[in-house]
Structure 1
Amino acid sequence: MRQLTIFRKTVWASMVGLVMAAPPICAAPVSFDNDACTNPSAEARLRQRETAVLGPGHAESHAKARAKQCRVAKGLEKAPTPDEQVLAAASAQATNTAGQWSAPFVIPVVGITAVLLHTGKVLFWSYEPTQYHNPEASNTGVAYLWDSRTRTGYAITPPENIWCAGQTILSDGRVFIAGGNLRYPDPNAPEGQQNFRGALSSYTFNPLSETWTAQPNMSVGRWYPTATRLADNRVVITSGLDETGSGNTTAVVEVFTPAASMDGVGTMSVVSLHDPSGMYPFQYLLSSGQMMQAGPAFYNTLLLTPGSWSWSSIPNLLSSHYEYANGVLYTDASVTPVKQVVMIAGGAEGDSAFRNNEWFDVGNPNAGWRQFPQWLQPRHNANTVILPDGTLFTVGGNAASNGYDNPHFDSELYNKPAGDPTGSWISMSPNTIQAGYHSSAILLPDATVLLSQDDMNPLATSTHQAQVYSPPYLFKGARPSITSAPGTVSLGQTFTVGSSTPNVSSVALVAPGAVTHGNDMHQRYIKLRYTKQGAKNLRVTLPASSSLVPPGYYMLFVIDSQGVPSVAKFVRIS
């Protein structure tokens, strides 16, 4: 199954020109129209390869998807759009229970990766569209900074093609990036070396100076790795296709130790070996200080213990979550004992997406994985975002066997906090941009959600769009505001937060998102304990454990008795 998953990803990528007819030496840049759409011999070779590996039926569906994408790219067919009646019905209730989407606006980069910085800006990066799948220009990428306050942005130059890397955010706000695209598939490479090659490089991005710093190379290349920050600010890096072009997923586990300086160079070390069962495995720092790795295979459910770097088993998932599922980590520190839950949702098996959402109670591991309320629609390639009130918002993805057919425009809201498995999913207002594959969704400081368009037409970056979703809680009345809060707080500290209203129902920290392919490697929600002090002041207490609250920047939200959240204030946990 692992090799089949790798092959599927390669096949989907081929929709924009996996097989090149030109020789690799002095080859012209890949043209979407000239290669994938009008080269019968290239299409025939790819079809033959798919038929041998996936079977004739599956190969046929992929061929149809490629043909459709070519027609859209040429302007002969429009990309799918939400049904007008669905839009009209959603619009009628957009001001009460379904939320509301902004008009689409242009962000001239495919939002394959999105990272929220504590400056309020969102860092996007992607492949360079004019060189997409050109083996001779594999290391060219693009990046873009979008300001969530002004809703304007500008291009910046990435250090290389960090598309399909792993990323997280360090305690001082730097973004850490591991791996990326060393080389696109090259049919002219030696047999057994024609697949994607993962980059060995790693970088940090300073959000204040908006500059990149090269960090030490890893021992192996990684394309689609997962990067998980531990309680002590070190980062565990797992999985990803290696640098050989063989299509093999690496079993090498490495740890990055950051330098103290924002622009300093840290160290990289190999600490363990473990087959991750697939690319972009789901990983979470748990209250014990151990790191959970769960999926994509149902049997890949283990804990990694820092220091000894040994792996121990926990109960298996109920099912596998191949083909881009998503997951969340929810912590309620307002109760004793603290409750912590992991929820993993969606993905695909075979030729279709499914709803197999499941959850794991970290405090009761013997109970194993249990079924979580199921989505209204089966999805893979979707994004699930934790909102300030602890509820979950799922958007985008599709229900087909490839990344672009049958895209979902209807979004869903889980109506209880993620730690409560007794809730249900409710249909929300549909987005109008297509977000079927290579799309990202991320929570903004004003409690809205930013959604980027997919890359159905990878060359149309000048018209690439995004939308902002306002959840139903923003239509319930006036918003509370945080009138005062410290900029820095220590673990275990009790501190004062001023609120514009005495009617507060909860206080929460939400870590900034760092998402790609539905896998948010930094998303974390922590509900805090508090008491009222006077009419509008709150005495809020942080847990003392760095495993529960890894030091770093968080969005602090106050939610009133009507369920309406404030605009967040960024605080740094030291």
Structure 2
Amino acid sequence: MHRPPPALPQRSARVLRARLLPCLLAACTVVAGLGGLSPASGADPLGPGERDPDIGPRTAPVHPGYATPEKARASVKAAHEHRHGGGGRTAPTTAGGGAGGDTRTATTTLAAADTTSATTLDPAVFGRWETLSYDLPLRAVHATALKNGKVLLIAGSGNVAEDNVIGRFLAYVLDPDTGKLTSVPVPYDAFCSFHVVDANGDVLVFGGTTRYKTSSSPWVGSNKVYKFVVDTQTWVAMPSMGDGRWYPTAVSDGSGKVYVYSGYTATGAVTTSPEMFDPATGSWTRIAGRDLPLYPGLHTAADGRLFYSGAHYGSKLNTALPKLFHPITGAKVSVTGSTMDLTRRNHAMSALVGSADQQLVWVAGGGFPALGTSYFVDLDDAAPAEIRGPALPAPKAYVSMAHLPDLTTVETGGGTGTASPVYETSILEPTTRTLSPMAPHTVPRTYHSSSLTTRDGRVLTFGGDPGGSGQFVMKVEVFSPPYLFRGERPTITDVPTELAYGGTYTVSATQSDAPLQFASLLRPGSATHSTDSDQRTLRLSTRTVPGGVEVTLPTNRNLAVPGWYYLSVVDDKGRPSVSRMVRLSAAATPPPPPPPPPPPPPPDTTPPTVTSRTPGEAGTGVAPAANVTATFSESVRGVGDSTFTLRAGDSAVPATVSYASGTATLDPASDLAPSTTYTAALTGGITDDAGNPLSPLEWSFTTAAAVTTRTITIPAEADTTVRQASPTTSYGSATSLLSDRQELSTSGSAAHGFLRFAVTDLQPGETVTGATLVLRTLPDDGGTSDGPAVWRTADTSTPSGTESMTWQSGRPARSGASAVANFGAVGADVSVSTAIKGITGNGPVTLELAPDSTNGMRMRSREHVTADQRPQLVLTVRSG
């Protein structure tokens, strides 16, 4: 990032210009360092830039499974199949977009032109990446999500020493929905500064670059502070810091104050003298000294202390242990059990993950060489200790993290060197502390890259500085998490904009196909150099109410520092709504208190009654398996096996008694005897909640007679096949039946089978409860994936008439509008059966086997020599 590119000799410059002009006309790309030109191939546009050797190697080995986007997609799919035994659903990715033009406005919202790849990943499982259709006009080193849904991108001099000298300090406001970019130049060089968002939603920028490093002088940090006022898109100078700071970190607390640590001063040393800024008064105060490396990963804990995570940039003071410390008194508690090599957490990233009240910090990646490990620290522990976290799929530094409204975290980007990108993205589930691999990004993101979450729950990624002239990545890529592909999301229809700490508010919201589960706050990101100190999410105390949810805000301001947040509702399928912007403020007026409770009701003196009983009084034909129930006029107490009884004559019936929702249930230990009279009784001891007793009650009922079942097997009394190809031929004496839509290789060769059964053995009082047609397929039939449908036909024929019918004559008409059964897939030489509907009594039953497809089915007929392979109709009948 840091040394200006050497000037080209005059002849070399002329040669390059002579070669570059025709390439520009032919849409070519200069291949830096190769001394040649190559045709444009859809690679990301690269702007100018240079690197400093202290930021890590330019190139280093990359895990082969994540060296390219396509290899990464294959690795993600293979890992998923190994873990789950299948690849999940896969689906093609669609893309589209419009040109930015001079107005720098994309023609579609978050439009993309995604490159087709051989490995497809289901976006409902792995999410989806899209590359926006426009290029950025600056090197996006710093990125902040604003309260109006837009993004402030700052380059300053953007790693170009010449721009620092001539005062070209770029910044733009990006509208991600339209692609519109508005220039808002910074009044000073904010390159390598740090930034937080204040309670009003404006951006405070601390430090930056006074002078670039040269062979004879170190980096010189700026002591300037500016505020970007979002509503007017203007810069306002704030009181300067006592020290210049290049590569500092700032972090906010619950009072709105900002603590600024580390950074190169004017002497090129890392300052160990932090300062505190009070935005309310514009004043600076020196606070307790602290030896921390450049861009230290800092986060505000629930008790107001600050936590240094171990993530940092560069080699200065890089052995400082992770610790909790008081910013004013300096009292500290170091993290125990630290086994990581802290010098290799260079370019790692840390974040307070999950709900902020859980106080869980996650640190991932780093270098050098690049690390694939991560760890957690629970700040709620009296003695915070390192807890091993999930391994990253591939080692990498330059990690970016962005929180999602469902309380998970996306980690993305990174590389083993500035020009060795790793194409790996995962989502952390903090409650289980597990990582789920996602679809890989396709735009390289290493040094000077960052990510931010949008109001609709997607993640924007910016930047990437592999080093060398002409290499900065100008493309914006968007990650849509899996929850965006899992059906309709809930919708917030109304919510107050100003929220007070400790206040309770109603969020009006509609659900889709799942109930609302909780509401969350997400602090929009303000990221640079793998550092975002104030980013956090918080699960709100949530209660479902008609038309939405009721949420209660925390009273502890350190859990959610004052300012603007994304507020979302999440349903029980994990799908968040598009968020609403709300401001959490101590000055906000809390909602009015609820109305006083109504006066207590008058004393209850009305005794309970029984409003319904089953079986009813003098009921008959009661099923022996029935339970006995009594429903009361109000809630009662005292229901049990001593107050709710059943007897047959003088014999008590063993039973279990239960009570729920105003109904008592007596469940006999075994079925009641048939044709027997029983008496149920509710006796003394049952009262309502006020103590009013139930009057004793008895009633009797009689059970039904015993039920018996039997099976009747009926052989076919006639069967035949009619063939369209032989319309006048009778096949009543054949030993097989056939059903086929196209028996021969030509059309017009259908074959239908007919069967006739005589039902004669049903006795008075018997009911048919089931009927099954049983057939035997031929050994050489080969089976079928779709057997014939079974139709009832008119029973006007005789057995001999059935045997003698042909395609042209004697076929009975179908007697219903739909088939009574259907054979599915069947094999060869097997017994197949299907249930038949509509048989209720004695009489002839004629069935037609009509083909459903060109897959035919051949069966034994009644003339076959083996009796048990002939067609049968099996009836199940019940009496009683």
TM range (shorter): 0.7 to 0.9
Where does residue 567 of structure 2 map in the other structure? Answer: 556
CA distance in 2, matches of 1:170, 1:281: 20
Where does residue 238 of structure 1 map in the other structure? Answer: 261
Where does residue 359 of structure 1 map in the other structure? Answer: 376
Query: Can you list the C-alpha shifts for 1:115-151, whole angstroms capped at 9, x where unaligned?
Result: 001011100111436x812397175321111113323
1:291 aligns with 2:302: no
- Residue 332 of structure 1 deviates from its aligned partner by 3.2
Query: Can you list the C-alpha shifts for 1:534-570, whole angstroms capped at 9, x where unaligned?
Result: 2x32110111111112111110011112111111101
Determine which of 277, 284, 294 is the counterpart of 1:279: 294
Determine which of 440, 447, 450 is the counterpart of 2:457: 447
Determine which of 362, 366, 388 is the counterpart of 1:343: 362
- Alpha-carbon distance change, 20 to 288 in structure 1, aligned in 2, over 3 angstroms: farther
- Which piece of structure 1 moves more, 445-454 or 91-100? 91-100
- Residue 304 of structure 1 deviates from its aligned partner by 3.4
Where does residue 98 of structure 1 map in the other structure? Answer: 126
- Residue 456 of structure 1 deviates from its aligned partner by 3.6
Percent identical residues? 27
3-state SS in 2 of match to 1:507 = strand
CA distance in 2, matches of 1:224, 1:138: 22
Where does residue 351 of structure 2 map in the other structure? Answer: 328
Where does residue 579 of structure 2 map in the other structure? Answer: 568
1:508-547 aligned at under 5 Å gives the runs 508-534=520-546, 536-547=547-558
Where does residue 74 of structure 1 map in the other structure? Answer: none
1:301 aligns with 2:301: no
8 Å contact kept, 1:138–1:184: no
1:139-288 aligned at under 5 Å gives the runs 139-187=167-215, 189=216, 194-244=217-267, 246=268, 248-259=269-280, 266-276=282-292, 278-288=293-303
Q: Structure 1: 5+ residue runs without aligned partners?
A: 1-11, 23-30, 39-45, 66-79, 261-265
8 Å contact kept, 2:157–2:191: no
Amino acid at match of 2:335: P
- Residue 526 of structure 1 deviates from its aligned partner by 0.6
Where does residue 427 of structure 1 map in the other structure? Answer: 437
- Which piece of structure 1 moves more, 287-296 or 488-497? 287-296
3-state SS in 2 of match to 1:134 = helix
- Alpha-carbon distance change, 136 to 346 in structure 1, aligned in 2, over 3 angstroms: closer
Determine which of 300, 318, 333 is the counterpart of 1:313: 333
- Alpha-carbon distance change, 167 to 463 in structure 1, aligned in 2, over 3 angstroms: closer
Amino acid at match of 1:119: N
- Residue 369 of structure 1 deviates from its aligned partner by 1.4
- Residue 236 of structure 1 deviates from its aligned partner by 0.2
- Residue 83 of structure 1 deviates from its aligned partner by 3.2
8 Å contact kept, 1:180–1:222: yes
Amino acid at match of 2:252: R
3-state SS in 2 of match to 1:223 = coil
CA distance in 1, matches of 2:236, 2:325: 28
- Residue 511 of structure 1 deviates from its aligned partner by 0.2
- Alpha-carbon distance change, 20 to 463 in structure 1, aligned in 2, over 3 angstroms: closer
Query: Can you list the C-alpha shifts for 1:331-356, whole angstroms capped at 9, x where unaligned?
Result: 537xxxx422111111113xx11023
CA distance in 2, matches of 1:369, 1:141: 41
Amino acid at match of 1:343: W
8 Å contact kept, 1:167–1:521: no
Determine which of 424, 436, 439 is the counterpart of 2:446: 436
Query: Can you list the C-alpha shifts for 1:406-444, whole angstroms capped at 9, x where unaligned?
Result: x01231122x2x2x2x34322211222111221111111
- Alpha-carbon distance change, 462 to 305 in structure 1, aligned in 2, over 3 angstroms: closer
CA distance in 1, matches of 2:539, 2:222: 38
- Alpha-carbon distance change, 382 to 119 in structure 1, aligned in 2, over 3 angstroms: same
Higher relative contact order (CA 8 A, sep 6+): 1
CA distance in 2, matches of 1:394, 1:123: 21
Amino acid at match of 2:528: T
Query: Can you list the C-alpha shifts for 1:370-405, whole angstroms capped at 9, x where unaligned?
Result: 111121111100201111111121111102xx3122
- Alpha-carbon distance change, 542 to 410 in structure 1, aligned in 2, over 3 angstroms: same
CA distance in 2, matches of 1:271, 1:367: 24
Where does residue 506 of structure 1 map in the other structure? Answer: 518
8 Å contact kept, 2:309–2:350: no
- Residue 467 of structure 1 deviates from its aligned partner by 1.1
The structure richer in helix per residue is: 1
Q: Structure 2: 5+ residue runs without aligned partners?
A: 10-16, 21-31, 35-49, 61-66, 75-114, 313-317, 586-880
CA distance in 1, matches of 2:385, 2:472: 48
- Residue 291 of structure 1 deviates from its aligned partner by 1.4
8 Å contact kept, 1:135–1:185: no
1:403 aligns with 2:418: yes
Query: Can you list the C-alpha shifts for 1:276-310, whole angstroms capped at 9, x where unaligned?
Result: 1x11111111110111123244643333325x432
CA distance in 2, matches of 1:458, 1:541: 52
8 Å contact kept, 1:135–1:184: no
- The two structures have a TM-score, normalised by structure 2, of 0.53
- Alpha-carbon distance change, 545 to 294 in structure 1, aligned in 2, over 3 angstroms: same
RMSD: 3.2
Larger Rg: 2
1:471 aligns with 2:481: yes
- Residue 520 of structure 1 deviates from its aligned partner by 1.1
CA distance in 1, matches of 2:331, 2:466: 40
8 Å contact kept, 2:353–2:409: no
Amino acid at match of 1:124: L
CA distance in 1, matches of 2:184, 2:68: 31
CA distance in 2, matches of 1:220, 1:207: 27
- Which piece of structure 1 moves more, 278-287 or 97-106? 97-106
- The two structures have a TM-score, normalised by structure 1, of 0.79
8 Å contact kept, 1:81–1:434: no
Where does residue 497 of structure 1 map in the other structure? Answer: 507
Aligned residues: 493
- Alpha-carbon distance change, 185 to 96 in structure 1, aligned in 2, over 3 angstroms: same
Amino acid at match of 2:144: V
Amino acid at match of 2:401: T
Where does residue 82 of structure 1 map in the other structure? Answer: 69
